[in-house]
Amino acid sequence: MTAADPRRALPKVDTLLAHPLLAPHRDEWGRAPLADAARHVLDACRTAIGRGEPAPGVDVLAQRVVEHLDLTGARRVRAVVNATGVVLHTNLGRSPLSSAAREAVLAASGYSTVEFDLATGGRGKRGHAAHAMLRTLTGAPGALIVNNAAAALLLSLGALARGKEVVVSRGELIEIGGEFRIPSIMEAAGVTLVEVGTTNRTHLRDYAEAITDRTALVLLVHPSNYRIEGFTASPSLPELVALARQHRIPVLHDVGSGLLHGTLGEEPTVEDSLRDGADLVVFSGDKLFGGPQAGMIVGAEDLVAGLARHPIARAVRIDKLTLAALEATLLAHLSGKRDQELPVWRSLRMGWDELYSRAQRLAARLGPGAEVREGASTPGGGSLPGQTIRSPLVHLTPRSGSEAAMMARLRHGDPPVIARTEKGRLVIDLRTVAEDDDDTLAAALLRALQAPPASGNGPATAASAESEDRTQHATS
Ligand SMILES: *Cc1c(COP(=O)(O)O)cnc(C)c1O
């Protein structure tokens, strides 16, 4: 560095933090995040100066600190409008909670009777009511609810088969989004995986040959997010159960989505699995069950009681907010109001006519450039792979700029709107938008339509919308 080095002209962190532009932000964030942002901005400046760029003034630097803080803020968990038509959108939190579940969460969020028995004034059992409701709902003698289905598997495998062998078909060694892999869970639980059969065909005799006195469990996993078609085979659940019973080994069935009963594509149901003799059935709380993130375990009373006593159970127990939301969701199922009360089921069941009139209304408000066309929504969440639901979609051709730039403007709006694109058009699917949000969505779309292509509501917004705009042109 020479005496004339422009890097020397940059202010110290403390000087930058004293800038009046940052005062309201210090109030909101506190000093440490502000200082981190200031250091980040100053470091980036030193690098830029090293490349020969001039040193910016302190006002510009303060503005950059604010932008950096805004970026961090945008990464916090925020409510969004899901206009993608993916009903169980894993990246958007899978199942939205029902109004009753939301109210229950709020009510439980202070002091609440999580482990307190109002009748006796003594200690109560966490999940007592939820477990009872889940037993009634499924008819299973035992029920236990943990953090998620992955935890339910970890607990079941750890408690029933640690140090022993677990037999699984090669066609079921699946990976589900978010680093969930059956072989890794088995390894983490300390069990030895014994693979049987091939990817497309596994026979009863493959299981029979693999079972030894080291075998502790037969595991069946519904390959939720993909389908093997054509030359395939696998034994039926009753056949497998009969085989396992001969060897006095329990069968654990991970059915994934948590369809309780009835028919929905080729989804397995909890009811069928229990009826066919699975000793334990595991499913997610936030897929087709339509509740909060949770792992549901139902089945034989003694096995479930053993799981509940295991130390892993304490590590993967559910918290009071989840419990409250689950009880409300269980009640919706028990009272037969699933399709009216649970947002996932309202979305899946919403009829064409109702969606069509909502889509027409939205298109009319957006004016020329918007039209309603037939398209498809996706169940998502690893349920019903390859299947779609026919839906009317609002197609929007941006007046200026690309559809990708408009998508970016929508994402940066308040509330953020998540849409999808198709062949140069922005596509809005109302199947996943609550009716109460139609007005909010229309207003957000109008704002995004009116904004000129390269200016959003802030410098960071404009920059990213613009860069996506360029990418789009470069690839089209
Ligand atoms: C989704 C899924 C899981 C993971 O469920 P989480 O509740 O997200 O842990 C496990 N097994 C199957 C078959 C699934 O479909």
Tens digits of per-residue pLDDT, 211-226? 999 999 999 999 877 7
Ligand 1 atom showing the smallest separation from residue 284 Cα: 7
- CB 224 less than 6 A from any atom of ligand 1: yes
- CB 295 less than 6 A from any atom of ligand 1: yes
The answer to whether the beta carbons of residues 265 and 256 sit under 8 Å apart is no
Ligand 1 atom showing the smallest separation from residue 180 Cα: 4
The mean pLDDT of 462-468, rounded to a whole number, is 37
Ligand 1 atom showing the smallest separation from residue 178 Cα: 8
Ligand 1 pocket mutation, candidates 146, 252, 284, 297, criterion most atoms within 8 A of CB: 284
More confident residue, 57 or 5: 57
Ligand 1 pocket mutation, candidates 156, 180, 257, 286, criterion most atoms within 8 A of CB: 180
- CATH of region 81-92+345-467, choose from 3.40.50.300, 3.40.1080.10, 3.90.1150.180, 3.30.499.10: 3.90.1150.180
- CB 149 less than 6 A from any atom of ligand 1: yes
Between strands 142-146 and 425-428, the pairing is unpaired
Nearest CA to ligand 1 atom 14: 256
The answer to whether the beta carbons of residues 42 and 16 sit under 8 Å apart is yes
Nearest CA to ligand 1 atom 15: 256
The mean pLDDT of 280-291, rounded to a whole number, is 98
CA 343 – CA 338 distance, rounded (Å): 9
Give me ligand 1 centre to Cα 225, in Å. 10
- CB 148 less than 6 A from any atom of ligand 1: yes
Give me ligand 1 centre to Cα 312, in Å. 18
- CB 267 less than 6 A from any atom of ligand 1: no
Least confident of 39-53, 142-156, 448-462: 448-462
pLDDT at residue 461, rounded to an integer: 39
Q: Is the pLDDT of residue 333 over 90?
A: yes
pLDDT at residue 3, rounded to an integer: 53
- CB 254 less than 6 A from any atom of ligand 1: yes
Other Cβ atoms within 10 Å of 352 Cβ, number = 13
Note the pLDDT tens digit of each residue in 311-320.
Answer: 999 999 999 9
Q: Is the pLDDT of residue 469 over 50?
A: no
Nearest CA to ligand 1 atom 12: 256
Ligand 1 atom showing the smallest separation from residue 221 Cα: 13
Give me ligand 1 centre to Cα 149, in Å. 5
Note the pLDDT tens digit of each residue in 382-397.
Answer: 777 778 999 999 999 9
Q: What percent of the chain has pLDDT over 90?
A: 79
The mean pLDDT of 435-449, rounded to a whole number, is 95
Residue 364 buriedness (CB in 10 A; 0-12 / 13-18 / 19+): exposed
Q: Is the pLDDT of residue 470 over 80?
A: no
- CB 189 less than 6 A from any atom of ligand 1: no
pLDDT at residue 177, rounded to an integer: 65
Nearest CA to ligand 1 atom 2: 256
Note the pLDDT tens digit of each residue in 355-365.
Answer: 999 999 999 99
Nearest CA to ligand 1 atom 13: 256
pLDDT at residue 382, rounded to an integer: 72
Ligand 1 pocket mutation, candidates 176, 181, 184, 266, criterion most atoms within 8 A of CB: 176
Which sequence spans correspond to the domains of the chain?
9-74, 81-92+345-467, 99-337
The mean pLDDT of 140-161, rounded to a whole number, is 97
Q: What percent of the chain has pLDDT over 70?
A: 93
Q: Is the pLDDT of residue 259 over 80?
A: yes
Give me ligand 1 centre to Cα 124, in Å. 30
Band (pLDDT 50/70/90 cuts) for residue 158 is very high
Give me ligand 1 centre to Cα 289, in Å. 12
The answer to whether the beta carbons of residues 211 and 167 sit under 8 Å apart is yes
AA identity, residue 51: R
- CB 273 less than 6 A from any atom of ligand 1: no
pLDDT at residue 400, rounded to an integer: 81
- Output the six-digit token pair for 383: 């349920």
CA 233 – CA 257 distance, rounded (Å): 22
Note the pLDDT tens digit of each residue in 122-140.
Answer: 999 999 999 999 999 999 9
- Output the six-digit token pair for 346: 């309202």
Give me ligand 1 centre to Cα 97, in Å. 18
Ligand 1 atom showing the smallest separation from residue 224 Cα: 15
Note the pLDDT tens digit of each residue in 183-202.
Answer: 999 999 999 999 999 888 89
CA nearest to 39, candidates 56, 61, 57, 18: 61
Give me ligand 1 centre to Cα 19, in Å. 49
Give me ligand 1 centre to Cα 306, in Å. 22
**CATH number given to 99-337:** 3.40.640.10
* Inter-helix orientation angle 99-108/320-334, to 10°: 150
The answer to whether the beta carbons of residues 147 and 318 sit under 8 Å apart is yes
The answer to whether the beta carbons of residues 373 and 392 sit under 8 Å apart is yes
The mean pLDDT of 268-273, rounded to a whole number, is 97
Give me ligand 1 centre to Cα 147, in Å. 11
Q: Is the pLDDT of residue 57 over 50?
A: yes
- CB 98 less than 6 A from any atom of ligand 1: no
- Output the six-digit token pair for 261: 């009963």
Mean pLDDT, the chain, integer:
91
